[in-house]
Structure 1
Amino acid sequence: MAPEPSAYLQHDLRSLQRRAVAVLSLGQILGGVAFGATISLGAVLAAEISGDEAFSGLATAAVTLGTAAFAAPLAAFARRRGRRPALTTGMAVALVGVALVVVGAAASLFPLLLFAFALIGAGQASNLQSRFAATDLATAASRGRDLSIVVWATTIGAVLGPNLVGPGEALGALMGMPALTGPYLFTVAGQGLAILLYLAALRPDPLLTAQAAVAADRSGATRPIAGTDRPRVARYAIVVVAAAHGVMVSVMAMTPVHLLHHGATLTIIGVTISLHIAGMYALAPVFGILADRWGRMPTILLGQALLAASLVLAFLGQDSTVAVTVALVLLGLGWSAATVAGAALLTEASDEVRRTRRQGLSDTVMSLVGAGGAIAAGVILGWIGYGGLALVVGVGVLAAVALAPTVRSSVPQSEATPT
């Protein structure tokens, strides 16, 4: 489909960008609430319907694989039709998944339940795409900051979503819904409101407007799309984001099990994971600003340093709850720095023709690596323990650092160390 009418280019692109970031941030909050309410009971529901706790992890695995499966098609759809229809389509597919979760729970059909969770992954794919949508009209001077604001908005949804489980169960009981499905009412509400928000307020479409700006050959001072394609840099950015995600998921997924085996209470475990999530999202704008001012590569390497510090502390202090908690906070901070700067670098290293396809590929690879890391982490934990797991996943950090020198020479000075 051709870009939206060139009349859009008469608008102030900075004003359009501010509006897009605000709409995407609010949509991310709504999507986060929906996803948080969904995933909180996924493992419990899977265990109850299957009748075997060994299958409880399949719910999260299905959502993750669904996210990976939908990421690239939604990115391709965005390329052809714009961000607005792509984001709303992902949310709509997720709503179908929610309905099938209720049906699967009522009928005790475990395969249907897993298929439903995979469809819900489309909503998570839309949430991931939102951060890239925030870069469509951004300039190099603000791209990291704008992307990170949308990432930060995830904090609100991540905190609110799980806390709606209790009220959702009570509301579901009043409506005669199957046990453990009541919280999905909030999922429907959150995703439904996000769809309406995107349809009504994400206008003009940021991606189509950016495409029109390129077609009009605007000056470099305001042109939102980078013109030089650097595939080696783009590949590195994809690797960095995927590696950071794999390291984070592997350690985070096994931390509750490790702490439980060392006598920690569920309250302590909950606090540890909450602080980890805060590390992931709460300081994202700080890393976005650093990426704009210091450069993408220095911020990526800062993320690797934080990840390395986390893994070393997890290894040395694996018998201390306090040390493990601090390690999880550092883990979240390292993930945040690497993914925010890595996503900005990927956007800048891709020309307008290849950009959305690579963004979708990045989300797909990231999700697959996260799923594989979570599965492998359980095996490694049982084999060589929590400290051994921390050392093994450190390979991802070493790879990101080792590949950095070959990439830095391909990054223009204005992007490596902005003034």
Structure 2
Amino acid sequence: MNKNIQESPQKKLTFSDVFAGCGGLSLGLINAGWQGVFAVEKHPFAFETLNANLISSENDFFDWPEWFDPKPIDVSAFVTQFEEKLRGLKGKLTLLAGGPPCQGFSLAGERTQTDPRNLLIEEYIKIVGFLEPRILLIENVQGFTLAFKKNGDEKHKRVPYSDIVIEQLEQIGYQTFSKIVAFSDYGVPQIRKRFILVAVKNDDPVLTKLNGKTPFEILEANREKFLLSKGLATSLPVSVKDAIGDLEVQAKKLVESDDSPVKGFKQIEYNSDSFSSPFIQLMRKGFGASPNSIRLPRHKQKTIEQFQSIMDSCTLGKTISKEDRERLGINKRAITPLNENLPSATVTTLPDDILHYSEPRILTVRENARLQTFPDWFEFRGNYTTGGTNRKSDCPRYTQVGNAVPPLFAEAIGQILRELAS
């Protein structure tokens, strides 16, 4: 690793990523010109993916500190073990990024204040206090902006958790800006809206550069320029077909999966000439091989028939209705058959939340990764799925992709923050 990386004026703006997952936010910031310092992620599979693509690469994406071995670690243990080292970096880091686990805030979940995952934001605040970075970047689900209704004290039942976090950051010397952002506006081919918070130290020149505007106003003003720089249309969102049309099974030769920990699965023999679009060209830029994680699901015949019935009789592009669920005998609450001409529904950690637009199957990990704007050179590691007692603790490939911040959006906002911080 290059220990002189910070001497380069082109890479003087540094970031660290807490709750880094498989690296979507880090990848986007790197593509925007930021230099990584360290990343914190506790799940071994997710860290394996992050490490293989961004940390151990020969590209010096991270100028990793010698005191922190690159390995998975829980954020609480990280804070306890390295408090002194973190305090030694006070004021030296430009940007601290982090997407604290969102499940406790998700509208699809129980949303209780006592969910232990919600407490991880407190560890993030501790790290902020130790490092005092110039800028903070937080991403979370829309439910982060709503008050808790269950098992909460009176304040948390009345006040959105986002407001409480903003109050804490303002108390330690940051000015905050927040917004619910539609990622489809920035080339992400799915209907995915997320809470984004940017905080800037009260005495930082970034506030002067903003000149009364918010980072989000600048982001919106730069939207068309960003999309054009990527070869994408500015008037219409990227459709599902334009994102994954080259990964269809139809007319493809099937071969044994070459990266499945479990034998007996098939994958397509990838053919880049089968279908293309500006988005696919962007995802495949500089990469001529077959992407990994294209293992096809192995559905039972009964499941295939049910999926076909959904595709034939339900509205494509919309979550199937309660009436359709009852008519088809489906217990699952949320399942969406995709419309090839529209963006995808939000990619989640559950593979069967979304059905392919023309084939009676769930999407592959790579298809989900495309919808999340991971380039084809980015390789996912670990198991594909996890069941049974390991479901709540493991982070297989589908989960890694579903939890990630789309790199393309991270790059868009990363460019704005880099310009402001320069």
Output the TM-score relative to the length of structure 1: 0.25
* Greater share of residues in strand: 2
Output the TM-score relative to the length of structure 2: 0.25
* Greater share of residues in helix: 1
Q: Using CA pairs below 8 Å that are at least 6 residues apart, which structure has the higher relative contact order?
A: 1
